A and B are shown apart, each in its own frame.
Chain A
Amino acid sequence: MAGGNSDIEFIKKGKRLDGRKPDELREVRIEAGVLNRADGSCYLEWGNNKVYAGVFGPIECHPRHKQQQDRAIVQARYTMAPFSVNDRKRPGYDRRSSEISYITSQALERVVMVELFPRAAIRVDMQVVEAHAGTRCAALTAASVALADAGIPMRDIIPSCAAGKVSDTVVLDLNKEEDNYGQADLPLAIVPSTGEVVLLQLDGHLTPDEFEQAFDLAYKGCMDLYDIQRAALANRYGGSA
């Protein structure tokens, strides 16, 4: 968890432990339309993170008491595979995955045109196959590509990226070591066309100045990811974004 004190030297000669500069993203690869059974899907590799997202819908909302009379609901579900982490994870839903599922649904409902589908549900399933810090951002980034791939009407595509603080330096896109032993972690998701913030969490401590710096860095990271998301969708249909 971020926020602890550690004597690890995370930055040496301006480079991080994995050789990145403080404002550099890990390598990201996105592929849309990878699953045949889902209406829309996406596979995302982000550093050592590997995430699949599949979308079904709009479909009838079950259980019926969850239906909204004037709009659809986005039922996102984030799960981690037992083999996605070092110590085998007990399979299934837990407190952490229900929290991430909830914030993902909230973020996606801001861009999906839910008012077009009264009483319906749009199911978004995200499976983390390999985890290496930043999986909530990776899952949300993959989920919005899968939604667009499913032909669901949306106002924009959501990119999500974290910034944080290690060795008293604000850095972009924390890796596993930086996340576990660093000082702060700030996941952010935005709607690029309007600049709206649809996800913002903070784990650890940041001064107001550091917060501003981390926010700007994460925002820039989101915009870089947005271009990668667009290129992935355009590539599938032989165009360029």
Chain B
Amino acid sequence: MTKSSSKSARGRSVLLPGDKLADDLKAGSGTFRRDGEAHAAVLGFPNDSSGYVNVHPVAGRYSPRVGDKVIAVCVETGPSLWRMNIGAFQNSMLHHSETDWKVDFGDTASFIGIGDAVLAEVYMVDGSGSHQVTLKKDDCRKLYAGTIVYIPPPRVSRVIGKQGSMIKLLRERTNCRIQVGQNGLVWVDGEPDQIARAQKAIETISREATSSGLTEKIEKLLE
């Protein structure tokens, strides 16, 4: 055990993989146990909640959770289902029975073609990492027109802001329709010049996610 990795980590200092965590808490997400002790598994910041210590990663790909609203892009069509890319380590399945359309066998491509995007909800994740999405939930639909902007999933919460303050600001100032997927894909539709402004603002939020006073900065940018 080295000097640097043996210190107990708490507070807001960044944790590195292998760092030992506080002894009196149970190991939560982003952690692992070795010799009965909890250690950080990812590069991130610690967060204690209800007796568990979690490490929130600062980077990384999307890991699907049931109930997440995501923007999914079709990568493959089958006779009765679509394979959708939601940015996770496996493609997600969208079965025709999980839509409101009457899809004939083999006719999936006339509803969602390769490259088409939908706003979907993750409704099943199993132990082997397979997952399925559905369009039979509130707001879920095929997305026509617009642009998709990618941001790293750990920064999604900054784009939404506290109680949706940031996303509200973006919508008001650009007059665009914006849907933020938990998987880091953001769909923006509106006037072309306004889409460009919104895109620039979203990219700025993503780039400066760890800095303070972000709302004021974005307000100024969108004046």
Contacts and interface: CB of A to CB of B under 8 A. Distances in A.
A120 B90 contact: yes
A58 B13 contact: no
Nearest to B57: A151
A148 B16 contact: yes
B124 to A, nearest CB: 16
Interface string A108-133: 00010100011110000000000000
B16 A119 contact: no
Interface string A45-69: 0000000000001111000000001
B138 to A, nearest CB: 30
B16 A157 contact: yes
Interface string B25-55: 0000010101000010111100000000000
Contacts of A149: 43, 59
A120 B129 contact: yes
A60 B131 CA distance: 13
B4 A230 contact: yes
Given A192-B5, A237-B210, A148 B61 contact: no
Interface in B3-28: 4-5, 13-14, 16-18
A152 B129 contact: no
B34 A155 contact: yes
Interface residues of A, number: 38
Contact of B14 (A59, A60, A119, A238): A238
B91 interface: yes
A155 B16 CA distance: 10
Contact of A148 (B1, B5, B17, B90): B17
Contacts of A210: none
Interface of B is mostly: loop
Considering residues B1, B17, B57, B154, which has the most beta carbons from chain A within 10 angstroms of its beta carbon? B17
How large, as a class, is the contact surface on chain B?
Answer: 20 to 34
A119 B61 contact: no
Nearest to A233: B16
Given A120-B89, A230-B16, A239-B14, A40 B2 contact: no
Contacts of A240: 13
B43 A148 contact: yes
B128 A154 contact: no
B161 interface: no
A193 interface: yes
Contacts of B18: 154-157, 192-193
B58 interface: yes
A118 B128 contact: yes
A10 interface: no
Contact of B91 (A39, A60, A226, A237): A60
Contact of B60 (A72, A152, A239): A152
Contacts of A120: 89-90, 129
Interface in A140-167: 148-157
Interface in B67-105: 89-91
Considering residues A111, A120, A154, which has the most beta carbons from chain B within 10 angstroms of its beta carbon? A154
Given A39-B59, A119-B128, A155 B17 contact: yes
Interface in A21-62: 39-40, 57-60
A164 to B, nearest CB: 24
Nearest to B13: A239
B43 A58 contact: no
A36 to B, nearest CB: 10
Given A72-B89, A120-B89, A148-B17, A237 B58 contact: yes
5 contacts: A40-B59, A151-B57, A157-B16, A226-B2, A233-B16
Interface of B: 1-2, 4-5, 13-14, 16-18, 30, 32, 34, 39, 41-44, 57-61, 89-91, 128-129, 154, 210
Interface of A: 39-40, 57-60, 69, 72, 111, 113, 117-120, 148-157, 192-194, 223, 226-227, 230, 233-234, 237-241
Given A119-B128, A155-B34, A226-B2, 20 more contacts: A60-B89, A60-B90, A111-B17, A117-B129, A118-B129, A119-B90, A120-B89, A120-B90, A151-B57, A151-B60, A152-B60, A153-B17, A155-B17, A157-B17, A192-B5, A193-B5, A230-B4, A233-B16, A234-B16, A239-B14
